[in-house]
Structure 1
Amino acid sequence: MNFNRRALLLCAAVALPLAACSKKGPDGSSLEAIQARGKMVVATEDNYKPFEYIENGEPKGLDHDLLAGLKKKAAFDIQQQIIPWSGLLPGVTTGKYDAAITAAVITPERLKTLDFTMPIAEATQYYVVRAGETRIKGVADLAGKKVGVQSGGASFAALDDLKVTLAKSGGELGEVVQYTSFPEAYQDLANGRLDYVINGIVNLTSLTAEQPGRFRIGEAAGRPTYAAWAVAKGNITLLNYLNAYLAGARADGSLFELQQKWLGASFTDLPDAAPQ
């Protein structure tokens, strides 16, 4: 059992406001610093349905409901900033935000500068095509095709896995177009400017359920991955605090109920800690 797992079990057994875990993270965003100033500042993405998005001026999605539960339990104020994806994780690493309350996919590159909570959902990357697409029947058919991904996101990271898969059948990755947000990529796909888009399975399930006549999900384009919240690397006290809350949400079943509500499925066999 590693340190984080031992600390998680300890924290889950005590009240959330207590700083029971002694390893200190970055000074500005440590749990002790947050308690001293009486507030925590978190960032959430503005357009990542169904995890977090704005509808008629109201924040909605899995992460917003989970954050609402955290606010009820916290002994300090939690201030939320809803921002575009591009500034979210960098804002955590620089200390602008204490935590990213967003469905950030855990990748080896991100693990260099961030620590992740226990997963909140599966996030394996799949491809999506137009509903009437006949050229693409499987991953091998993606060779040479034009793909849309989110700049700096997990879909971009999945391209490394896809390159390896395509090479096994003698294929190569085609042109890659990076987008700030997925709605732009989906629009270009629908208009024929892209051949396919890569995104997490939960997001694509939501997309195709809403627009079955426009889009169709294909196969996995990368290895199994998970979505989780993030804090700056080494901020163990805050990480354990958030893990304790999520562990409680798993134990009382509320996490799985919210997954079913927003994602259309519940993931009851998620890892207890972020895969390293």
Structure 2
Amino acid sequence: MTKRPFLKTLASAALVLACAGAHAQDSLARVKQAGVLKVGTETAFAPFDFIKDGAHAGLNVDLFNEIAKEMGVKLEWVLLPWEGVLPGLETSKFDMVAGPATITKARLERYRFSVPVAEATVAFLKRKGDASVTKPADLGGKTVGGAKSSAQLIQAKTFGDTLPGKIQTRDYPGNNEAYADLAAGRISAVSNSLPNIAYVAKQRPDTFEVVQPPFGAKSYFGYISRKDADAAKLADAVDEALLKMKRDGRLASLQKKWFGESFDTPDQAPAPSF
């Protein structure tokens, strides 16, 4: 009469302990157990993430394929608009964010960033062969375009205010419209992050070229994880994979593939100046 209830109680206790053990696992252990790394991102940020011939492509796709190989797991992408990416991370809909995002003071307070994967410093794109612009300061008194309310256009205005002839800025709905006006000669340059304009120049070398050096505050792009103990070991594993790729040349090779050049990046997320 007492044996059956006892066995039932014992089984229930075992189930509770098993569930508690699974819950106690950190994110790296859960990824390893599932054999899948889930990564959230958008697909409108070339050359990091974009749709090419109907498929998800870009630097992030190539880099995370390598990261997954190093970790011995499969890769699963969760694609959604950017405004849903960080909330999705915070509610654990996926393990980390490809993005990438510029490493800033405000973001570091809330998230953990990976080893930087590219420079994010703002630079100018000009028309190919425009001899009137050989360095950033030459844009004093000229008109520079960029995406409306973007940090890159704001930095162009701030930089222009330090020049004898101030830079005039022109807002566009997006960078593609600004590039079109630059190609048509209606503006003298476009302000955007160096990797993005390097990619544009690589795609259209007869039309555009990058103005060197970048003029903005030194900054870098990194991948985002939750900033808690649960996510720490997974973030460490991703950093380990990225540093291995940096040492063996795979990171530089992929940067050259997508940007036409490689970047000198630090081995850990730096303390940003802004």
Structure 2 length-normalised TM? 0.71
Q: Tell me what 1:9 maps to.
A: none
In the TM superposition, residue 67 of structure 1 has moved relative to its aligned partner by 1.4
The residue that corresponds to 2:60 in the other structure is 63
Mapped partners of 1:157, 1:29: distance in 2: 36
Q: Work out whether 1:272 is the aligned partner of 2:267.
A: yes
- Contact kept, 8 Å, 1:125 with 1:158, in 2: the verdict is yes
Q: Residues 93 and 114 of structure 1 are in contact (CA less than 8 Å); yes or no, is this contact kept in structure 2?
A: no
List alignment gaps of at least 5 residues for structure 2: 1-23
Cα distance, 1:37 vs structure 2: 5.8
Q: Report the Cα distance in structure 1 between the residues aligned to 2:87 and 2:33, rounded to whole angstroms.
A: 24
2:211 aligned partner, one-letter code? G
**Aligned residues with identical type, % of pairs:** 32
Displacement of 1:262 in angstroms is 2.8
Alpha-carbon distance between aligned partners in 1 of 2:41 and 2:50, rounded to the nearest angstrom: 9
Return the alpha-carbon distance in structure 1 between the equivalents of residues 97 and 88 of structure 2: 9
Larger Rg: 2
Q: Does 1:224 find its partner at 2:221?
A: no
Describe the superposition over 1:103-147 as per-residue Cα deviations: whole angstroms up to 9, x where unpaired.
Answer: 432223332322211111223211113447677565343557352
Paired residues for 1:228-243 under 5 Å: 228-234=222-228, 235-243=231-239
Paired residues of 2:117 and 2:220 also in contact (CA < 8 A): yes
Q: 1:179 to 1:97 in 2, by over 3 A?
A: farther
**Match of residue 78, structure 2, among 81, 105, 118:** 81
Label 1:189 to 1:45 Cα distance change in 2 as closer, same or farther (>3 A): farther
The offset of 1:192, in angstroms, is: 6.0
RCO higher in structure (CA 8 A, sep ≥6): 1
Gaps of 5+ in 1: 1-26
Aligned residues: 244
**Secondary structure of residue in 2 paired with 1:186:** helix
User: What aligned pairs does 1:1-276 form with structure 2 within 5 A after superposition?
Assistant: 30-35=27-32, 39-131=36-128, 138-140=135-137, 141-142=139-140, 145-149=143-147, 156-159=150-153, 161-169=155-163, 174-175=168-169, 177=171, 179=173, 182-190=175-183, 196-219=189-212, 220-234=214-228, 235-267=231-263, 269-276=264-271
Higher helix share: 2
- Distance in 1, Cα, partners of 2:188 & 2:208: 11
Please tell me whether the aligned partners of residues 40 and 77 of structure 2 are also in contact (alpha carbons under 8 angstroms).
yes
Q: Give deviations 1:218-268, integer Å, cap 9, x for gaps.
A: 24230222222111233422321210111222233322332333333334x
Name the amino acid aligned to 1:42.
V
Contact 2:156 2:191 in 1 (8 A): no
Alpha-carbon deviations, 1:21-43, whole Å to 9, x = none?
xxxxxx99843454566643212
Q: Deviations over 1:54-99 (max 9, x none)?
A: 2212333322112112233435543202344444345434544321
Distance 1:173 1:113 in 2: 34
**Distance (whole Å) between structure 1 residues aligned to residue 81 and residue 148 of structure 2:** 12
2:47, 2:146 → 1: CA distance? 19
Distance in 2 of aligned mates of 1:74 and 1:106: 24
- TM-score of the two chains, using structure 1 as the length reference: 0.70
Residue 242 of structure 1 aligns with an amino acid whose one-letter code is V
Q: 1:147 to 1:262 in 2, by over 3 A?
A: closer
Measured in 2, the distance between the counterparts of 1:86 and 1:197 equals: 24
**Greater mean alpha carbon deviation, residues 138-147 or residues 113-122:** 138-147
